Structure 1
Amino acid sequence: MRKYIKIKYIIFTIAITAVLSYGLFPLTACAWGDNGGGRPSYTEEEIDNGAIGATEISDGENYKKTDNYPGTIVFNSISNGIIGDEKNFVGARECFQRADGTWIGATKDTIWNPDEIEVEDGHTYIIRMYVHNNNPNGEDAVAKNTKISFILPIDSAKEIEVNGIINSSNATPSRYWDHVTFKSSNLFHLEYIENTALLENNGIGKGGVVLSDDLIQADGGILIGYDKLDGRIPGCYQYDGFVTIKVKAVFDYDFIADTQVRLAGEKTWQDTVTANVGDKVEFQIQYKNTSNKSQTHVVLRDILPPNLRYVPGSTKLMDAKYPNGATINEDVLVDDNGFLIGDYSAGSNAYVMFTAEVVDDSLACGQNTLINKGQAYVNDKLLEDRATVIIYKDENYDFTSAQTIQITAIIIGISICIVILIWLIYKIIKFNRRK
């Protein structure tokens, strides 16, 4: 009997801990998800009838005086919304650019592939994210600090997942994600087309407003909004919006480009390093001809982000002609036209290395992610690979309100688990003493 009671208490403790841990550290196996562990779905009729906030239909003409007003702020949870099931809020389709620069297939009225899309070499695709605060009570139920981002993998593969993420500091859940998968029978990568991020809504985005390219891989996302880019989005359909970006699919069967980084003085090349202001970092761009033909007029170029400053005269070329490396006095590698390294036979390769210094021209407090782009051009085809330098400014990290809430919730959850465990141990000891 005593053993049975011990086991019962232990199972109870494990169950409580598992439930709390799942709420704090949710896992999801499906395309969509959230940090609430899987939010419920609502129909439009359920929303009208007060499922997440009182309405005149649910509570009569005095609904604004009820306890359920204005209610809870929830994003993208309507199962029969204007895009269908809002949990599937990221989709893609092919688009084409006209001679005048406008695009065909870039409107919200066209058919979208919400789950996966087959790509063709050199074709352009538009990725759409739908953002809808489902609360029916408009300006009285404003989502705050609303941020969005797209996670666009830079590696080559036969299947590439692009995730769209929505964050809001006062929504429940506070973080939402969904993805669309790009597929091909060939290895390929996706290149983001700069200055194509667009917000469309009935406010500031009427006709479309261009967003910062920082929404790609953005740590925490960039602010959007209804009438300003201030993170504020009222509830209901009239305040919803669409964010779109454009990407190009590039097949990787003729040549490769690989960019890596290391701290100056180290030997190992990496995709990501952590550095401090004043440090010097070295970048390496590798080009390799993977075809069975010679390639002519190969050009390498590097695009440094702000806060990384090229060290003049540091470029070196290493290939079959220069096996020990040749110093290039001209700094053409970081110019607009790049560095013409020459012609390369089938299977041959080349390395270009240079040094950059970490400076503080515009670093923010906390973590700064600096993405350097190494590019290789063969004829009219471009391949790009990236290497990352992470900089921490100041010792004290400037947490956002959403991060503070998450950390506080984790601490509270762990504390509750500890208290329950201590209480159960006390009960077990007390029970044993009675026996």
Structure 2
Amino acid sequence: MAAVALILSLVTGVQNWSTSANAADGSARQLDEQRRANEINREMLDRINQPALSGPNPGPTDQAATPKAKGCLSDGTSVPAGWGPARPIFADTATPQYALFNSIRDNPNLGDERSFYAIKDAKDTNGPWKKQVRVEKGHTYLVRVYIRNDAADVGAIATGTSVMVNLPTCTGTSIATNAWIKSNDAFPNEVWDGLTMNSDIPFNVAYMEGSAAIYNNSPNSPFRLTSTDFLEVEGQKIGFDSMDGVVRPGYSNVAYLVFEIKPQFAS
């Protein structure tokens, strides 16, 4: 009986080891497949091929700052503009199975996706994107919103997706602006990020009419925006071949909302 028990134990052990090995092999294969898919998607992203849009995101700012902060200050301090809300943050090789926007910390193209709202001088085509700029008279500034559904599951489609930008109309020596990405299916339903403009002279900011466009990998790209819906509470719908609010997962479905602003000085 002892010999039988020993044999059964050995057989069970081999079966368990075999099962574990198969599971490990399966996980390894899944990771390899995901890495290959990511490589293909990165190439797709590169096809957007807009030099002014390229370049990594700046690092995220202090999360403690909220979009509820006063938009303009003139007391010599800079208006804080953070990111939020607090949410699970993933690595590029292990993305979530559900729809989630801009929550990868090591995107190989852009860096940290939490910092998806950035600005730079429009003349500085090859210059870095920033979270803060010192605005100057006679200059205009390019603003970029990066939009990506990070889900690993191709079926985790985000519907009703829109982008909204709060561009303050107040005057000050420091002005903060925020961007939101909202969706019916994503968790959380909205994410936001901010940036700040500073000057020694009081100023306000104006949108340069007709400058807004959405860029993606669709043959219909770019989508020139004839309205300023993205500056309204409801926001601008985002999509792929049409702006229908449907955003599928992956790098190949990434989109940029890009527009230009102009600082206006009191004197």
TM-score, structure 1 as length reference: 0.42
Q: Is the aligned partner of 1:130 residue 2:156?
A: no
2:39 equivalent in structure 1: none
Structure-to-structure mapping, 1:131-280, within 5 angstroms:
131-138=147-154, 140-203=155-218, 206=221, 208-253=222-267
Which residue of 111, 129, 132 maps to 2:128? 111
CA gap of 1:129–1:205, structure 2 versus 1, over 3 A, is: farther
Which structure features the higher share of strand residues?
1
Structure-to-structure mapping, 1:19-418, within 5 angstroms:
29=65, 31-34=82-85, 38-47=86-95, 52-53=96-97, 72-81=98-107, 82-96=109-123, 105=125, 110-113=127-130, 115-138=131-154, 140-203=155-218, 206=221, 208-253=222-267
Consecutive aligned runs of 4 or more in structure 1 exceeding 2 Å deviation = 27-30, 212-217
Tell me the CA shift for residue 137 of structure 1: 2.8
1:310 equivalent in structure 2: none
* C-alpha contact (below 8 Å) 1:122/1:251 kept by paired residues: no
CA gap of 1:152–1:135, structure 2 versus 1, over 3 A, is: same
1:137 & 1:212 partners in 2: Cα distance? 34
Q: How many residues align?
A: 189
Give unpaired runs (5+ residues) of structure 1: 1-26, 54-71, 97-103, 254-435
Aligned letter for 2:138? G
Aligned letter for 1:126? L
Tell me the CA shift for residue 189 of structure 1: 0.9
CA gap of 1:175–1:76, structure 2 versus 1, over 3 A, is: same
1:154 & 1:191 partners in 2: Cα distance? 8
Aligned letter for 2:232? A
1:169 aligns to what SS in structure 2? coil
1:142 aligns to what SS in structure 2? coil
Aligned letter for 2:91? T
1:45 aligns to what SS in structure 2? coil
* C-alpha contact (below 8 Å) 2:212/2:257 kept by paired residues: yes
* C-alpha contact (below 8 Å) 1:137/1:236 kept by paired residues: no
1:233 & 1:150 partners in 2: Cα distance? 19
1:110 & 1:239 partners in 2: Cα distance? 25
Identify which of structures 1 and 2 has the higher relative contact order when contacts are C-alpha pairs closer than 8 Å and 6+ apart: 2
Tell me the CA shift for residue 185 of structure 1: 0.9
2:258 & 2:119 partners in 1: Cα distance? 9
1:238 aligns to what SS in structure 2? helix
* C-alpha contact (below 8 Å) 2:116/2:146 kept by paired residues: yes
* C-alpha contact (below 8 Å) 1:129/1:244 kept by paired residues: yes
2:194 & 2:233 partners in 1: Cα distance? 17
Tell me the CA shift for residue 84 of structure 1: 0.9
Q: Deviations over 1:150-202 (max 9, x none)?
A: 11001111111111111101100001110110111110111110111110000
Aligned letter for 2:143? I
Tell me the CA shift for residue 40 of structure 1: 1.6
Larger radius of gyration: 1
* C-alpha contact (below 8 Å) 2:163/2:230 kept by paired residues: no
CA gap of 1:181–1:252, structure 2 versus 1, over 3 A, is: same
Percent sequence identity over matched residues?
Answer: 29
1:87 & 1:220 partners in 2: Cα distance? 22
1:84 & 1:29 partners in 2: Cα distance? 21
1:84 & 1:165 partners in 2: Cα distance? 19
1:117 & 1:128 partners in 2: Cα distance? 14
CA gap of 1:204–1:179, structure 2 versus 1, over 3 A, is: farther
1:210 & 1:204 partners in 2: Cα distance? 13
Aligned letter for 2:187? T
Tell me the CA shift for residue 249 of structure 1: 1.1
CA gap of 1:43–1:205, structure 2 versus 1, over 3 A, is: farther
Q: Deviations over 1:251-287 (max 9, x none)?
A: 113xxxxxxxxxxxxxxxxxxxxxxxxxxxxxxxxxx
Tell me the CA shift for residue 219 of structure 1: 1.3
* C-alpha contact (below 8 Å) 2:230/2:236 kept by paired residues: no
* C-alpha contact (below 8 Å) 1:132/1:241 kept by paired residues: yes
